[in-house]
Amino acid sequence: MIASLPPLSLPPGSLDAMARARPDEEGLAVLRRGVVTRRRLQVRAIARRAADRFPLTWREVGGASAVRLLEEVDAVARPALEEVLRHPYTGVWAHRTLRDLHAREEEGNRTAARAHLSHLVGIAAAAAVRARLPPEVCPPPRNGLVVLPGLGALRLPEGARGDPTTIPAVLDRFIAAGDEGTASGTAGEIDDLLPRGNPSTRRASADAPLWWPRHLITLPSRGGDDDLRISLEDLDPYRNVFPRVTRGRLPG
């Protein structure tokens, strides 16, 4: 996944454009590559530190399998991996995970490490779904939710929350029924493949977990350009980075 990372250089003209607050496409592309490079290095550091400090937890959550899956996605569908790595809350996750893995306290950080490393498995599963590859990992549920960063979450029925075997089968359905939009994340969202629901209106059943898709807001274009689509994230557990308290799932 990070065996060789190309050097990054910003052309002088692009640097001048950024200084004028009018960045050009070449400069923005370098910045995007820089974000991905940083996240790759963070994942490598997380894997090494977790395997060294909390080896049992690392094995129990399937951390090594998650990293191998990320490497597989990188080999066959790099844009799918980069899409997940560029997600803003992936950066929040990486920062908090490294902080807690290097903290002095032992027992409390073991609990935090399990949550952080479980999220790594979710990141790998989300990348695989985007790449239309068999996930081969099982993201552990958190409060009955299996979050796929940047895509949405599965709301599991009460009886299945401790049964991880239900999760890969559902993820395989996404891949089998998906199209190019599913892989790229730009159209044809996977939220049409499962019943939608909110906790106040619907309940998951044993054979039909509820799919909570990400909210997409479409803003009409001006001047004939493509409409702007903005993802409103209300599911990611690492979205609480702002002063205001985060709320639960939004309606609609």
* Res 25: pLDDT: 84
Range list of H helices, the chain: 12-19, 25-53, 55-61, 63-76, 78-85, 88-101, 107-131, 166-177, 180-184
* Res 229: pLDDT: 80
Residue-wise burial string across 54-85, b where 16 or more C-beta atoms lie within 10 A, e elsewhere: beebbeebbbebbbebbebbbeebeebbbbbb
* Res 205: pLDDT: 44
Which regions in the chain score pLDDT beneath 70? Answer: 1-4, 106-108, 157-209, 224, 243-246, 252
Compute φ and ψ for 153, nearest 5 degrees. Answer: -150, 150
Q: Assess contact for 137 and 77: CB atoms under 8 A.
A: no
Nearest partner of 149 among 48, 242, 81, judged by Cα? 81
- Residue 234, token pair as written in the block: 């209300």
Distance (Å, rounded) from C-alpha 20 to C-alpha 17? 5
* Res 191: pLDDT: 45
* Res 72: pLDDT: 95
- Residue 145, token pair as written in the block: 């939710």
CA–CA distances in Å: residue 58 to residues 32, 108, 117, 126: 30, 16, 7, 19
Please state the separation of Cα 247 from the chain's center in Å: 19
Domain ranges of the chain: 16-232
